[in-house]
Structure 1
Amino acid sequence: MTSGRDVTASDIPVSTVRWTGAVRIIRSSFPPIDIFEDIADPADWPLLISAEQKTNPRIMSMIGNLDAIPPDRRAGGNGASYLMAPFTHASMDRPSRFSDGSYGVLYVAGSFRTALFETIHHHARFMAETAEEPGWTSQFREIILNVDADLHDLRAGASASDPFLDPDIYLPAQQLGARLKAQASDGLAYCSVRHAGGECVGLFYPDCASKPVQGRHLDYHWNGKRVDLVRDAGAGNVFRVIDVPAL
């Protein structure tokens, strides 16, 4: 496989991924979206949103683009914000490994450690690009959830030379993601580029995951060059980050 533009869904094996207690780490500044949490049946959302708009013109900025998710693929109930928001708030200003930003992807790691190293990398890159001063800079929250989906599987034989797992160049992976999504894929399973031995999934629909609950609150310490410390805000424990080579 040489580029995402050359690959079709039939070129990649499909595996059933069932993870219990998988982990996603997000910034604490992203609040839950009440309508996703309070109204269990997604079929009721369009009418409720229409009514709410009459008294709350900011409702659409909070909910985002609900039309980005087919009605039969939406998730509702407790914790649904954590599943829905990556899709309703997708933006070309925030591309990712398997999307240019024109559609959302729900990224989940198989373990807390893998999720931590993935987010540390992206946070450190942002801090370096914006020349932030050293200190305890940002708060994050751990989301624990289940994954159950048939996914196109890039894990077998993965290596540093795989164009879809390049640590810095995302274009081939974005082309692949767009093509698979257009061919009705539910997403991809792949080896973590930031944590050796770790596995991740990129889900194209929120109903590929379930039962999200909030775990720990985390603080990341930026020393001017890298994230060197992580603090469990609840327990107060501080852990030093030791680099783990990836692929």
Structure 2
Amino acid sequence: MNLQLINDRALVRLIPATYHKPPVLRGLVDSDDEAELLAELEAMTNQRLKVEREGSPALDRRELAFARRSADLRVYGQSHINAAFAYTRTGGNRFNDESRGAWYCAYDLQTSAAEVGYHRTRELSFIGVYDDEARYVELLADFVGTFPSISSASHPDALQDDPALGYPAGQALARALRAEGHRGLLYQSVRHKGGRCFVAFDPHIVQNVRPGASWTFTWSGTPDYELAAAA
């Protein structure tokens, strides 16, 4: 398998803007002490906080961002990194199963938007109503290291367009790579021709997370969406 050395800055991950806001519970109380009490209640059901506290069968809590930043727990992006690995979706994604998440990002906005737009459009197709507006914010991160690199020519099974076919093959490949000690994977975008993507298997390699621009996806009756900078 081809290995590639990278030292790349500002790879783009798009997340819903609702996950980028300050803690919503803070506005319900009058003091920091009361906020801490509410945070303790939230922690009982919050998957990220639960994994930070206890870990999971597939994710040791010592792998998470706070474990390597004990001198400064307020470093920006800590919760976003941990959430990417703590939360999973039914069936998993292309290179992670339901037991453990991963950090997906792209080398440019257009590729990241195509990936996000595809999945949201697919969700809308389940109800047959393409009338939606969603705001996303960029999370930019840096990556340094040597990682495997694949394309549709070298690994057509893992990069198939149909998730029902591509995801099982991609997840099997990711398990094998992680077993060999690889911490991430460079791959050709399935949703944006010519685009390049990266998936981090290890929270520790996600570096220098910072916010970028905000964008609005709009569907107006068809599967085609418009992307515009948010005001």
TM-score range, shorter chain: 0.7 to 0.9
Distance in structure 1 (CA, Å) of the matches to 2:97 and 2:39: 34
Distance in structure 1 (CA, Å) of the matches to 2:64 and 2:169: 27
1:118 to 105, 112, 115: 115
Structure 1 equivalent of residue 140 of structure 2: 144
Distance in structure 2 (CA, Å) of the matches to 1:125 and 1:138: 14
List alignment gaps of at least 5 residues for structure 2: 24-35, 70-74
Question: 1:133: how far off?
Answer: 4.5
Letter in 2 for 1:104: G
Structure 1 equivalent of residue 82 of structure 2: 84
Structure 1 equivalent of residue 26 of structure 2: none
Question: 1:54: how far off?
Answer: 10
Given that residues 151 and 189 in structure 1 are in contact (C-alpha distance below 8 angstroms), is that contact kept between their aligned partners in structure 2?
A: yes
Indicate whether 1:166 and 2:166 are aligned.
Answer: no
2:150 to 144, 150, 154: 154
Question: 1:134: how far off?
Answer: 1.8
Given that residues 64 and 89 in structure 1 are in contact (C-alpha distance below 8 angstroms), is that contact kept between their aligned partners in structure 2?
A: no
Question: 1:149: how far off?
Answer: 3.0
2:217 to 216, 220, 223: 220
Given that residues 64 and 82 in structure 2 are in contact (C-alpha distance below 8 angstroms), is that contact kept between their aligned partners in structure 1?
A: no
Identical positions, percent: 22
Letter in 2 for 1:191: Q
Root-mean-square deviation (Å):
2.5
List alignment gaps of at least 5 residues for structure 1: 1-11, 35-51, 235-247
Q: TM-score, normalised by structure 1?
A: 0.73
Question: 1:224: how far off?
Answer: 3.0
For residue 175 of structure 2, give the secondary structure of its aligned residue in structure 1: helix
2:42 to 58, 79, 88: 58
For residue 65 of structure 1, give the secondary structure of its aligned residue in structure 2: helix
Pair 223,59 (structure 1): closer, same or farther in 2 beyond 3 Å:
same
Given that residues 109 and 200 in structure 1 are in contact (C-alpha distance below 8 angstroms), is that contact kept between their aligned partners in structure 2?
A: yes
Q: TM-score, normalised by structure 2?
A: 0.77
Which region of structure 1 is more displaced relative to structure 2, 12-21 or 114-123?
A: 12-21
